[in-house]
Structure 1
Amino acid sequence: MKKAVAEFIGTMTLVLFGCGAAVIAGMGTGATSIDILGISFAFGLSIVAMAYGIGKISGCHINPAVSVGVFMAGRMSAGDLVTYVIAQVLGAIAGAAILYLILSGKAGGWDGGLGQNGWGAGYLGEYDMTSALVFEIVATFLFLVCILGVTQKGAPAHLAGLAIGLTLVVIHIVGINVTGVSVNPARSIGPAIIGAATNPGALAQVWLFIVAPIIGGALAGVLFREGGVLDASDD
């Protein structure tokens, strides 16, 4: 139960602050607006904060793709994997719901956006589905290489949260204009479900942000299994 609660809170925080930075601070003008760099750091620093806040309780996965990667690396049970994923998705929905309530109080209204991921005509850089799929698989794979690498035995554990958070910052700097950056199925599912009434297109595209990160996470996990090419336990 402690692990599930921690994962719920962590994922809720990531969605609230990361997506919140995009749709609240990102919709401002002049001194009240932030750019891609600001949004990227909002996501990355949310990870850093939660890594040190809940890391000792659950490991701070707050991402189904991370949990799949950890499972494939042989570092968690199937039962824990299911518990983590359920808690993460519920946490993301809660974070998106809180963000929706906040935005609903804006006097001038807003366009209904909650930081949903997507691709194609009318979405940010208007990259096609192939570009979105490739980016999400590769970015999630590299994200998991960092996570599984800095959390394996012998790695400097006290720096893990910072390394993981900064990796997510870089991923967002590169990928925001491609897909808005998911690398996290829960982060995509929450805003897509809560924002479905005003942006049904995001819900129609959410499958890619489930499939691609899971593939990337699983591939990285295989490399870190005992005896795998990136397993450092024998060094």
Structure 2
Amino acid sequence: MIFVLVYCTAGISGGHINPAVTFGLFLARKVSLVRAIMYIVAQCLGAICGCGLVKSFQKAYYVQYGGGANKLNDGYSTGTGLGAEIIGTFILVYTVFAATDPKRNARDSHVPILAPLPIGFAVFMVHLATIPVTGTGINPARSFGAAVIYGDHKAWNDQWIFWVGPFIGAAIAAFYHQFILRAGAVKALGSFRSNA
């Protein structure tokens, strides 16, 4: 579903469906502050509306599955939950950077067309690893929308994990891609040109 959503919205908003991705791209100076804020507000409102629709159409399943609200599962510490969200979001946001990097040369011209595919796979893989820990947040808007509509006390108590963790993971991914990988690539290209 993430593949489909990113593919369908890429031409409208760049495929921004996650505040953590928007935050990472803002830190990398690929999105302005005003645009980032507007995207995050729209993402949160969309999540609230989406959760409201699910509740209205599938009430029995909605209640049975706790409204899809993210919370720290029993047996896991706050640190473990926060770490899972940081690592999971890092993987997602780094994949976004790698898949949409405009610095790729002509031989990789097919990559931007296929960018939603690795992003969707990254989300899938992160879910496999983190569902037992936190139910997999990695998208603060999705966690927020579910908490607003479901209104569970535990979901609200743990809500900070699903904002702080993803924003830290996104910041690390932005820093890693922009300042470590890009700097290394520039140095390697410079030394290649000087040798040639």
Give TM-score, length-normalised by structure 2. 0.86
The partner residue of 1:201 within 141, 146, 154 is: 154
Q: How does 1:23-172 map to 2 (within 5 A)?
A: 46-104=1-59, 106=60, 110-111=63-64, 113-121=66-74, 126-153=75-102, 154=104, 156-172=111-127
The answer to whether the Cα contact below 8 Å between 1:112 and 1:195 also exists between their aligned partners in 2 is: no
User: How far apart, CA to CA, are the structure 2 residues paired with 1:99 and 1:200?
Assistant: 20
Partner residue in 2 for 1:182 = 137
* Secondary structure in structure 1 of the residue aligned to 2:180: coil
The answer to whether the Cα contact below 8 Å between 2:55 and 2:62 also exists between their aligned partners in 1 is: no
Task: Give deviations 1:41-99, integer Å, cap 9, x for gaps.
Answer: xxxxx111112211111111201000000011111111111111000000010111111
The answer to whether the Cα contact below 8 Å between 1:120 and 1:129 also exists between their aligned partners in 2 is: no
Task: Give deviations 1:139-196, integer Å, cap 9, x for gaps.
Answer: 1111111111110111511111001001110000111111100111101000011000
TM-aligned CA deviation for residue 111 of structure 1: 3.7
Structure showing greater relative contact order (alpha-carbon pairs closer than 8 Å, 6 or more residues apart): 2
User: How far apart, CA to CA, are the structure 1 residues paired with 2:45 and 2:90?
Assistant: 24
User: How far apart, CA to CA, are the structure 2 residues paired with 1:217 and 1:109?
Assistant: 30
Per mean C-alpha deviation after superposition, the further-off stretch among 48-57 and 110-119 is 110-119
Q: Give the share of equivalent positions with the same residue, in percent.
A: 34
Amino acid at match of 1:175: T
User: How far apart, CA to CA, are the structure 2 residues paired with 1:185 and 1:201?
Assistant: 16
* Secondary structure in structure 1 of the residue aligned to 2:115: helix
TM-aligned CA deviation for residue 223 of structure 1: 2.4
More helix per residue: 1 or 2? 2
User: How far apart, CA to CA, are the structure 2 residues paired with 1:103 and 1:204?
Assistant: 25
Amino acid at match of 1:231: R
When residues 187 and 110 of structure 1 are mapped into structure 2, their CA distance, relative to the original with a 3 A threshold, is closer
Amino acid at match of 2:101: Q
RMSD: 1.8
Q: Provide structure 2 residue ranges, at least 5 long, that are not aligned to the other structure.
A: 190-196
User: How far apart, CA to CA, are the structure 1 residues paired with 2:63 and 2:9?
Assistant: 33
- 1:215 counterpart = 2:164: no
User: How far apart, CA to CA, are the structure 1 residues paired with 2:140 and 2:174?
Assistant: 17
TM-aligned CA deviation for residue 110 of structure 1: 3.5
Give TM-score, length-normalised by structure 1. 0.72
